[in-house]
Amino acid sequence: MEDVKQKLYYKYYLLKIETSDMMRSHPILIWNCSSITLSLKSGIQIHLFMQEGSSLTLQAFGHRGAAGHAPENTLASFQMAMDLGVDWIELDVQRVEDALIVFHDSRLDRTTNGTGLVANHSLASIRALDVGNGECVPLLEEVFDLMNHHCGINIELKGANTAKLTVEMSQRYIQEEGWRPDQILISSFDLDQLAEVRKYSVDLQIALLYQWPRNRFIEQALELKATAIHIPERFSREHTIANIHANHMKVHVYTVDAINRILKLKHMGVDGIFSNFPERIIKARDIV
């Protein structure tokens, strides 16, 4: 046993094994697997029990696609994120008429050549806007079609009356297009919208977005049967991460672009990180 140094970053979430014959990190990503046995060259076997959809490596979430490289929340940005090898694409949805558009702000001004509130515009007029480089505001189904279940999709509910439509669309892509429930994660700061998601689906994954300190955020997440809590980097403390893990939920941290901060969070044992430059998260996996 002397030649084996074993580090377990909280339970089964991240495993890094070093031996005299294998002196680098070997991350493993496993979907829909109940257990895994790792056999080392030294003859030692390590048997781990897995939760469905859990991962033994740091998960890379492309924030609004790859927003550091392409206009945010556009098909070009999502394609770039997939090309970079993300595990998840994160995006924002709002309801306009009877459609779900992929758009973050309540106003059009920052990211398009339009002005005013999203709520004051028709679907057709929003779709005609330029989001940059000739890209338009996509519909959620266009993103599903582009991704074709090659990675997970994290849908953040940004506006009112988005939950039911999002659940219906997610269920359609599960039933008709081969998506798995564990490839879809619905998140929001809005507890009412998340409760609405859970009302219509017991299978879809939910994540509670946490922005400001609040006393019952873990209890609220448990009440929603959430699988994860998304926390801002500024509130990423070891005791917070440990408390969330102790309640059998994952910790995903947003939005982190600096490689030194990504590495710090990795060694704190978080399960995933959101970044505008998701390739930096992927690079951090191989840095001890």
Work out the burial of residue 205: count CB atoms within 10 Å of its CB; fewer than 13 is exposed, 13-18 middle, 19 or more buried. buried
Confidence at residue 50, expressed as pLDDT on a 0 to 100 scale: 39
38 and 131 share one domain: no
- Asked if residue 95 and residue 26 are part of one domain, the reply reads no
Residue-range definition of the domain harbouring residue 24: 5-49
How much is the pTM? 0.82
In-domain check, residue 54: no
Q: What is the pLDDT of residue 242?
A: 96
pLDDT of residue 17: 35
Say yes or no: 44 and 113 in one domain: no
- Number of domains comprising the chain: 2
Active site residues: 63, 104
Q: What is the pLDDT of residue 225?
A: 98
For 73-102, letters b (16+ CB in 10 Å) and e give bbbbbbbbbbebebbbbbbbbbbbeeebbb
Domain-embedded: residue 129: yes
C-alpha span between 220 and 206 (Å, rounded): 12
Q: Are residues 44 and 67 in the same domain?
A: no
- Is 171 contained in some domain? yes
Q: What is the DSSP letter of 183?
A: G
How high is the pLDDT of residue 139? Answer: 98
Please classify residue 244 by burial: count the beta carbons closer than 10 Å to its beta carbon, then call 0-12 exposed, 13-18 middle and 19+ buried. buried
35 with 63, same domain?
A: no
145 and 12 in a common domain: no
82 belongs to a structural domain:
yes
Same domain, 113 and 45: no
Same domain, 32 and 168: no
Say whether both 122 and 261 belong to one domain. Answer: yes
Give me the tens of pLDDT residue by residue for the chain, a chain 288 residues long: 333 333 333 333 333 333 333 333 333 333 333 334 444 454 544 434 333 333 469 999 999 999 999 999 999 999 999 999 999 999 999 999 999 999 999 999 999 999 999 999 999 999 999 999 999 999 999 999 999 999 999 999 998 999 999 999 999 999 999 999 999 999 999 999 999 999 999 999 999 999 886 779 999 999 999 999 999 999 999 999 999 999 999 999 999 999 999 999 999 999 999 999 999 999 999 998
3-state secondary structure of 188: strand
Taking a C-beta distance cutoff of 8 angstroms, is the pair 194, 163 a contact?
yes
Question: What's the one-letter identity of residue 63?
Answer: H
pLDDT attached to residue 20: 32
Q: Look up the CATH number of the domain holding residue 196.
A: 3.20.20.190
